[in-house]
Structure 1
């Protein structure tokens, strides 16, 4: 049976180990409490570009970390968020020692060159171009910009194209040494046994100091009149700020998200799809960051349906803010939120990412059992309050906009 998460100190890097002798694979992740919110104002996209270069740079004249892992039959990837970066791999357990050392070298002791930077800069620009062609991506960037105006949380994770073009190798190296390596970080390992991690520490002294929280600017008034609906299929994002990641009461927003999610049991599904037939593709979720969170509903809408869709979302939030959820809806929402976590916990790679993200790179106490208990404890009054908070600052953004 899998053990409970155990924090060990086999090296200079704290390690969270979840060991299960039945597994034949080992999943390992280096989580870093650093993200796009920490990019310098003049270098938007630096963290994302750094992620690309670290995963693609050759190691001692051999292929990159990603290529070596894939040649072993494994899988490797990385991701940059607003306030966390993950570098991870899943391989046969026999290869865990080798891959742990490769990951350490690739991320903490890279050998970067102008040629590598130029190649990955091109890849990042292609990635951003693809995202810009997808209104479903564009609307979320626009929504966060409206939610956090003038704040790092409102900047696109991928960065600004013109700023990315101006980033030099020196900028990347300085960012890696002074910002990345000095951020809090931890290893998360899931497998039959712990890989050999002795000697795997940081290459420079690190204080593991958390980045300072930044004051949130006031929200600009959001009015439906500011929305210009397109004469084509588009995406509308409706939501508001929610609790920060360390807010002990933020689970109420997770339950509220289930109540307006894409499950046939949700009030929004019943109203929007079953009764009105206005949407096929929609979702609702909440994310907590250092200074605040973002709760949102994302809906694909046909021409002429946008205002009605927003009105239905607003009506359901108003009903929940007034009377709270029906008991059976609340029970279903709590079960669904818990089952999502349980399903993730039964896939080693999903569990790896979940633990890395929810412990915030080892800086927060978190366990699956504790999270499930906290979700089960959310009551009708807490959901009612969450709905009222969202409704009071409801922000509506649509993309594409009418030309």
Structure 2
């Protein structure tokens, strides 16, 4: 494989060899169902995922929280299986099954031995296509989700992260919490969640990805058979749903500073700006920047904040990308009295990088760190399965390890410095949770403080 391989939505069959001699095959059924597999030599297990490109950002008023609610409910029983039947099916073979709701997609997945592929396909297909959304189970699961949200609200890092997205993204749908809020979950109705289910779980929405010990022809036959048994009409021609636009959205800052008062021993602090969209050509340079700035124990943030000054135990940077927006952020957990100082240091370090650039040694270390981490991650079929899903849903192309390393080698120190300069030119937001004063971050940059009460 030389270069990235595109995944055109109107191409029904595609096959190629990727790095490590894995075989990637892709089939688009006439109904719009997309099935993508990566057969990995020597594997005895596989990970399978059923994806729909619908996440929390896609919810409309009256449906907030429906995506996460539905993710829970699809485990609660179908016309053929109870919730216990679904659990037993995977437990009986030593498999794992779960789901994740994200901002731009939902995925139901399982990891099993190769011999259990047919079972995994049957059960996951049944869940996706034939959930009954039983009213009694609906109310039970409402309580479970409220407990999940309460658990997250007890985690100050989670609270700081949610407030950070709101602060940076403002009114953009990506600023909303993935799981909904207690109010939206309490207000959710079965009819609204059912409407969400029927509108977004259709053949043209479905993407099935499998990585590991998989025969593509066997997989396609199994998925087709299971969907037909579930009553889906695969004879009706339909084009796969289009991918989201990759054009960057205009982001209006939600608020410069958010302080959530909690009587804690440590403050959880996040500081950052809007970043790059997922398909931006500079994403690789962003990975290098993140590695050098806050990606490990040799990074600038770790060395300056923890090693030299002893101001934090955990400190790092991160840069998630979405279809039309992204974030560049920094995190630190520190003594509340030191939060303002830590924020100033993190901001100053980013300005120093933007003003003076990075060294050749830092570039070499970042290249080694990123290439090594990428290679090690691909030892896991979960990572490979997720890569297939993102390739199909978000990127529209498949990038193997060789191509990723080629792109990494093209990044220069100037690229990293220019990107850092662009980040520092954008409006910064701070979110913090802890025993902090409203004026803890005064003087760092102009802002109107927003304080949130203890809850």
Question: What TM-score do you get using the length of structure 1 for normalisation?
Answer: 0.91
| 2:420 is the alignment partner of 1:394 | no
Q: Distance in 1 between matches of 2:115 and 2:139?
A: 35
- Alignment equivalent of 2:339, drawn from 280, 290, 306: 306
Q: Distance in 2 between matches of 1:367 and 1:200?
A: 30
Partner in structure 1 of residue 293 of structure 2: 260
| CA deviation profile, 1:204-238 (whole Å, cap 9, x unmatched) | 66643347669534225636xx6588774110001
Q: How does 1:295-374 map to 2 (within 5 A)?
A: 295-360=328-393, 363-374=396-407
> Is the 1:14–1:187 Cα contact (8 Å) retained in structure 2?
yes
> Is the 1:236–1:299 Cα contact (8 Å) retained in structure 2?
yes
Partner in structure 2 of residue 36 of structure 1: 56
Q: Structure 1 residues 55 and 248 mapped into 2: Cα distance closer, same or farther (>3 Å)?
A: farther
Partner in structure 1 of residue 34 of structure 2: 14
- Alignment equivalent of 2:93, drawn from 72, 76, 100: 72
Partner in structure 1 of residue 145 of structure 2: 124
Q: Distance in 2 between matches of 1:40 and 1:2?
A: 44
Secondary structure of 1:289's aligned partner: coil
Q: Structure 1 residues 249 and 162 mapped into 2: Cα distance closer, same or farther (>3 Å)?
A: same
Q: Distance in 2 between matches of 1:390 and 1:341?
A: 25
Q: Distance in 2 between matches of 1:182 and 1:158?
A: 25
Partner in structure 2 of residue 47 of structure 1: 67
Q: Distance in 1 between matches of 2:151 and 2:334?
A: 21
Pick which of 309-318 and 207-216 moved more.
207-216
Q: Distance in 2 between matches of 1:107 and 1:65?
A: 12
Secondary structure of 2:211's aligned partner: strand
Secondary structure of 2:319's aligned partner: strand
Secondary structure of 1:311's aligned partner: helix
Q: Distance in 1 between matches of 2:21 and 2:66?
A: 38
CA deviation after TM superposition for structure 1 residue 188, in Å? 1.2
Secondary structure of 1:356's aligned partner: helix
Q: Structure 1 residues 131 and 95 mapped into 2: Cα distance closer, same or farther (>3 Å)?
A: same
Q: Distance in 2 between matches of 1:23 and 1:86?
A: 23
| CA deviation profile, 1:66-93 (whole Å, cap 9, x unmatched) | 4421222100011011001111101111
Pick which of 102-111 and 141-150 moved more.
102-111
Partner in structure 2 of residue 243 of structure 1: 276
| CA deviation profile, 1:87-113 (whole Å, cap 9, x unmatched) | 110111111112112111111222221
Q: How many residues are paired up?
A: 401
Partner in structure 2 of residue 272 of structure 1: 305
Q: Structure 1 residues 46 and 207 mapped into 2: Cα distance closer, same or farther (>3 Å)?
A: farther
Q: Structure 1 residues 230 and 177 mapped into 2: Cα distance closer, same or farther (>3 Å)?
A: closer
- Alignment equivalent of 2:174, drawn from 153, 163, 166: 153
CA deviation after TM superposition for structure 1 residue 285, in Å? 1.6
Q: Distance in 1 between matches of 2:37 and 2:100?
A: 21
| 2:109 is the alignment partner of 1:88 | yes
Secondary structure of 1:199's aligned partner: helix
Say what the alpha-carbon RMSD is for the aligned residues.
2.5
> Is the 2:98–2:109 Cα contact (8 Å) retained in structure 1?
yes
Q: Distance in 1 between matches of 2:363 and 2:109?
A: 36
Partner in structure 2 of residue 209 of structure 1: 241
> Is the 2:296–2:302 Cα contact (8 Å) retained in structure 1?
yes
Unaligned runs of 5+ in 2: 1-19, 438-452
Pick which of 332-341 and 358-367 moved more.
358-367
Secondary structure of 2:179's aligned partner: coil
Unaligned runs of 5+ in 1: none
Q: Distance in 2 between matches of 1:24 and 1:269?
A: 39
Partner in structure 2 of residue 376 of structure 1: 409
Larger Rg: 2
- Alignment equivalent of 1:5, drawn from 19, 24, 33: 24
Question: What TM-score do you get using the length of structure 2 for normalisation?
Answer: 0.81
Q: Distance in 2 between matches of 1:365 and 1:285?
A: 23
Secondary structure of 1:386's aligned partner: helix
> Is the 2:293–2:300 Cα contact (8 Å) retained in structure 1?
yes
Q: Structure 1 residues 289 and 304 mapped into 2: Cα distance closer, same or farther (>3 Å)?
A: same
